[in-house]
Amino acid sequence: MAINKPRLYLASQSPRRRELLKQIGIHFEPLLLRNDPRRGIDVDEIPLHGELPEAYVERVCREKAAAAIQAITLRNLRPAPILTADTIVTIDGNILGKPSDDKHAAEMLRSLSGKQHQVMTAIAVVLADRIECRISSSTITFATLNEETIHRYLQTGEAHGKAGSYGIQGHAGAFVERLEGSYTGVVGLPLFETVELLKSFGITTA
């Protein structure tokens, strides 16, 4: 039976995901997956050999869910559904992660310039032994970016900590000529899929 204001853990540090959940009236409690000597190694976000982008983003999302369950147990927190998510940018079958520095970010932006790429966000909800996962995939066409435009964008600092070195909700929104798919999925939490998944766990919007 659904309840109006259930407790939900959000295992993500992303302020954008928190804002999107609040936007649709979902009440949640942040769950930070801090390093803990009692817990196993952190989620391995290095793609496996030959791993396809869709398989990769789902695997990482499910591993985050498993780590979140372990964190709940170790901290003796009250059991409740946990929402995890992972977003990747992929072009020509290659996965673009988060940049290590400005030079790396510039290389990624050059690779996206004037081309189409995909943004995939996997979301998972886990409670006890039950885990359900959904994937949102969107196609984005970028404008051609010259070196001055890339340099100015890097000066904003927005590239750091973002898959593919850009965030559509910021200055880089001006780079997008066309978006086919889910805007909120590109931001990091596809709301349609999220709501449908949470409903299956008895969680409804406000």
The predicted-structure confidence for 165-192, as pLDDT tens digits, reads as follows 999 999 999 999 999 999 999 999 999 9
Quick one: what percent of the chain has pLDDT higher than 90? 83
Q: Is residue 204 part of a domain?
A: no
Residue 30 has which token pair? 């942040």
pLDDT band at 38 (very low <50, low <70, confident <90, very high): very low
Across the range 95-123, mean pLDDT stands at: 97
Q: Rounded distance, CA 32 to CA 189, Å? A: 17
DSSP state of 17: H
Q: Is residue 2 part of a domain?
A: no
Averaged confidence pLDDT in the chain: 91
Task: Tell me, yes or no, if 86 is annotated catalytic.
Answer: yes
Number of domains the chain contains: 1
For the whole model, what pTM was predicted? Answer: 0.89
Radius of gyration of the chain measured on its C-alpha atoms: 17
Q: Is residue 4 part of a domain?
A: no
Q: Is residue 3 part of a domain?
A: no
Those residues whose C-beta lies under 8 Å from the C-beta of residue 80, and which sit 6 or more positions away, are 6, 7, 8, 9, 127
Q: Is residue 50 part of a domain?
A: yes
Output the pLDDT for position 32: 80
Q: Is the pLDDT of residue 21 over 90?
A: yes
pLDDT band at 62 (very low <50, low <70, confident <90, very high): very high
- Which amino acid type is present at position 61? C
Q: Rounded distance, CA 165 to CA 157, Å? A: 10
Given the residues 86, 101, 102, 129, the one annotated as active site: 86
* Phi–psi pair at 90, nearest 5 degrees: -135, 140
pLDDT band at 205 (very low <50, low <70, confident <90, very high): confident
pLDDT band at 1 (very low <50, low <70, confident <90, very high): very low
Q: Is residue 1 part of a domain?
A: no
Burial (CB count within 10 angstroms: exposed 0-12, middle 13-18, buried 19+), residue 116: middle
Task: State which residues form the domain around 118.
Answer: 9-199
CATH number for 44? 3.90.950.10
Output the pLDDT for position 34: 60
